[in-house]
Amino acid sequence: MTFTKGKCVNCDAPISTGILCSECTPSPSPTNIPVRIVRLSEMVEGEVGFTEEYAVFEAEGKLYVIGSAQVSPKRDGYKTTKVRVRKGIVEVDRMTIDLDDLWIGWPEMNEETDYLAAKLV
């Protein structure tokens, strides 16, 4: 397959950007529909999601998560730490977080944010 700038790599139709013309660009299938991204503080009881490791930290001997951190329903990019809300506490799956890299101390946040009580499960 050769690539000539300005031409679709599939059918040679003239294009202005990218490598495929609109005809050859696959349309998103239902499984590619963007998933609902919420913040940790918006998760409801029983909801499961994945967040970034940095959202979890330990301060004064207790575990917390940053309420404004984004949560994806699926493992996605850096969102690899599994969390679940149960009885108002954010449960963090210990198999999905590197505890050696756990942030210790209150994080410096510019915006106002909630810190939610968390625990390892």
Contact with Zn ion (CB under 5 A): which of 19, 21, 38, 89? 21
Please list, in sequence order, all residues whose beta carbon lies within 8 angstroms of the beta carbon of residue 120, skipping any fewer than 6 positions away.
Answer: 63, 91, 92, 93, 94, 97, 99
Q: For residue 80, which of 50, 43, 57 has the smallest C-alpha distance?
A: 50
Rg (CA), the chain: 21
Please, which residue, 8 or 92, has the CB nearer to Zn ion?
A: 8
Please, which residue, 7 or 39, has the CB nearer to Zn ion?
A: 7
Please, which residue, 26 or 34, has the CB nearer to Zn ion?
A: 26
* Stretch of 4-12, 44-52, 92-100, 110-118 lying at the interface with Zn ion (CB under 5 A): 4-12
